[in-house]
Amino acid sequence: MKQYILPSIKLTIIFTILLCVIYPLFISFAAKLSAGKGSGEKVTLNGKVVGYRLLGQAFNQPQYFWGRPSAVNYNAAGSAGSNKGPTNPAYLQEVDNRIDTLLKYHPGLKRNEIPADLVTASGSGLDPNISVEAAKIQAKRVAISRQVPLSKIIKLIDIHTEKPLFGLFGPSKINVLELNVALDQTRK
């Protein structure tokens, strides 16, 4: 047995040094050259950090665009989805309540205009994005609340629409935090 135990121990030691010390330190060092310096890219407003570009926040005030429902209420100390099954009656009731809330705050909105992402919780609970349709149905509310012309809001949505990768792959989307920061910037 000794012929197997000694190489096992020694290989474990040498690969621990290589894989757990040298490799991650090398990656960590290389990442210092990236946009977020390896600590996550931040978004600022007037020089003040107001969030991480990739992490959604809980927006509920009328002058901001709202993100998706979240199972962890956008608390980025953790992360989780709702894990509700598609036929769970309590879950379907919850979705129905979200639809009612949206209808209440968006007069004139019809049920079949509501995009699915606005009434379903994301996988991480921290989804930074909404679909373009989800931003458009909120435009009127934001415009009224901010007392700016609707056309200006629509234009901002267009500017902040992120196209598919290379224009070819994946969905279009909007980063809610960046759009809201842009809203606050135009006010000034």
Name which of 11 and 159 has its Cβ closer to another protein.
11
128 within 8 A of 54, measured Cβ to Cβ: yes
Give how far Cα 67 sits from Cα of 25, 94, 174, 182, Å: 36, 17, 10, 15
Q: Rule CB under 8 A: is residue 158 a binding residue for another protein? A: no
Q: Does 150 bind another protein (CB under 8 A)?
A: no
Min dist CB 87 to another protein, Å, is 5
Please list every residue from 75 through 114 that binds another protein, using CB under 8 A. Answer: 75-89, 91-92, 95-96, 99, 111-112, 114
Residue with tokens 């121990």: 9
Q: Taking the complex as a whole, how short is the minimal distance between the CB of residue 115 and another protein, in angstroms? A: 7
The beta-strand segments (E) located in the chain are: 42-45, 48-52, 129-130, 161-162, 173-175
Q: Which stretch binds another protein (CB under 8 A): 138-146, 147-155, 170-178?
A: 170-178
Question: Burial, 176: exposed, middle or buried (Cβ in 10 Å; 0-12, 13-18, 19+)?
Answer: buried
| Binding segment (CB under 8 A) for another protein, from list 38-46, 136-144, 146-154 | 38-46
Residue 54 corresponds to which tokens in the numbers above?
Answer: 């990739």
Question: Binding of another protein at residue 59 (CB under 8 A)?
Answer: yes
